[in-house]
Copies of this chain bind each other. A is one copy, B any other.
Amino acid sequence: MTRGSGGLVSTLLPVMETVNGTWIASAMSSEDVEVAKTFKNNCVPIPEDKPLFRVPFVIVDRDRYEKYYSVISNPLLWFVQHYMWNPAYTPEIDDKIHDAWDDGYKYVNRKFAEKIVKESDFNEKKPLIILQDYHLYLCPKFIREKLGDIFLSQFIHIPWPQPEYFCIIPDYMEEAIIKGLLSNDIVGFHIEKYVKNFLRTCEKYADYVDLESNIVKYEERTIYVRNYPISVDDQGLLKLSHSKEVSKKEEIIRKIKGDNFLLYRTDRADLSKNIIRGFKAYELFLEKHPEYIGKIKFLSTGKPTRQQIKEYRDYKDDIDQTIEKINKKYSTDNWKPIEQIFKADYSLVAAAFKNYDCLMVNPICDGMNIVSKEGSVINENNGILILSEHAGSYEELKDYSLNVNPFDVTQTAEAIYQAVSMKSKEREDRLNGLKKIVKERNIYNWVAEQFDDIEKLFR
């Protein structure tokens, strides 16, 4: 068993270890299924020898799981919530998608609800059920139907788009999603913008929506829509970054860096991450400032993601071709403009965080973007942050980052030039500013704020 590659796992792990909770998860791979089946009730203790929390797995057949995960959750919902469809051509909502909704998404949400209801029975006191993310929009309604007056909250880790874009999906799906989410007592998002977009999407279905106090009235209940910007475990990250493992990986990074200015990025190869425009901006920078040829390197690490979906396979190919083209155009005998390490493990990423001169985070759309916070905490090189205005973390970090419109390749190239020519005093001030912000609100604050609200509103 290995941990997933997304930002969500990184941020929730330390929380789960602290509260000794029950994490109900779905078995993603056939390996997950095999491991889960060796435990009673498919409930895996983690870590196995000295359990800090337990993971009862929801197991459904592969066919339905694929419909749930690789047709509806991704791409349909993920693409809609990240403004990522190409509307003249996609999505093409056909019988396959309608079927995947019923027989996949709805089915798995129901299975999750059943498992949660079952696990809830085991406890003596009223359980606190906290759902995570866009895979479980229908779950709260199914749970409330069974458990009635129970506390339910759900946190959405991805953006919520404006209602005109969300209604790309069929009406009946939109209605089920909104009514599902409104079965919670609290719905959480990273930033205020998503809260407002969600509230406006609710207007069609709710009895009353208050855009001032962010409250929805629906079926005689009050739903509180709140923003809790997720953060990182800054102390844990610092500890890790000073571990032997990371020190060892720093040798690899230093070898790549040499005397160069190290521009760095790390992402799942997701279309929302805007990896190609990042490289094109770098290419334009080299074209406009040839004096930096041989003096800068762009290191890119990442993990493959969602390769069962065509758009992702194509995107991965397009990234590789872009890198190849730029390397071919600018490489010299002893210098290569872009180095790519795919399938990098986290200690290598941490080593790169520690040593970059500039971190590029330029998503077209990103719920929060944890990388921008992790990098700022770990970096020891007065590293500059180039940050997209469309990353959730922009709201918190914008005063200390170099900000770009992610669609604007010219502006992004200029930001790289600004970074390479920035005086060390300004670099230091900016990094210190970033560090201060992230430390002031870490992952434990994110959790505490949510529990505080639960306490205040419902106990």
Take A84-B88, A92-B277 as given contacts and tell me if A408 and B170 are in contact as well, using a CB distance cutoff of 8 Å. yes
Chain B residues within an 8 Å CB radius of A171: 405
Contacts of A162 in B (CB 8 A): 162-165
A164-B161, A164-B162 in contact; A407/B91 too (CB < 8 A)? Answer: yes
Which of B86, B89, B170 is A405 in contact with, Cβ under 8 Å? B170
- Contact present for A410 and B277 (CB under 8 Å): no
In the bound complex, residues from chain B placing their C-beta under 8 Å from that of A87 are: 83-84, 364-365, 407
15 CB-based A-B contacts, threshold 8 Å:
A85-B86, A88-B271, A88-B272, A88-B276, A93-B407, A93-B411, A94-B280, A94-B409, A95-B284, A162-B165, A164-B193, A164-B197, A167-B389, A169-B407, A171-B405
Is the CB of A401 closer than 8 A to any CB of chain B? no
Q: Which residues of B contact A93 (CB under 8 A)?
A: 405, 407-411
A84 and B90 alpha carbons, distance in the complex (Å): 11
Find chain B residues with CB under 8 A from A407 CB: 87, 91-93, 168-170
Task: Please give me the residue from chain B that is nearest to A94 by CB atom.
Answer: B409
Q: At the interface, yes or no: A228 with Cβ under 8 Å from chain B?
A: no
A98 at interface by CB-CB < 8 Å: yes
Q: Select A88's contact among B88, B98, B364, B411, beta carbons within 8 Å.
A: B364
| Interface membership of chain A positions 222-265, coded 1 if the CB is closer than 8 angstroms to chain B and 0 otherwise | 00000000000000000000000000000000000000000000
Q: Mark A344-368, 1 if CB is under 8 A from B, else 0.
A: 0000000000000000000011000
Q: Pick the most buried of A85, A88, A168: most chain B CB atoms within 10 A of its CB.
A: A88
Q: Which 7 A-B pairs have the closest CB atoms?
A: A86-B86, A88-B271, A162-B162, A93-B408, A94-B409, A87-B364, A93-B407
Asked whether any CB of chain B lies closer than 8 Å to the CB of A274, the reply is yes
A107 CB-CB contact with B under 8 Å: no
| Nearest CB of B to A318, in Å | 8
Instruction: Verify if A315 is at the interface (C-beta below 8 Å from B).
Output: yes
Interface positions of A from 390 to 436, Cβ below 8 Å from B: 405, 407-411
Tell me how far the C-beta of A150 lies from the nearest C-beta in chain B, rounded to whole angstroms: 34
Interface residues of A in 305-332 (CB under 8 A from B): 311, 315, 318
Residue contact B165 to A165, C-beta cutoff 8 Å: yes
Q: How far is the CA of A7 from the CA of B226 in the complex (A)?
A: 45
Alpha-carbon distance A91/B364, docked complex (angstroms): 11
By a CB distance below 8 angstroms, the chain B residues around A315 are 88
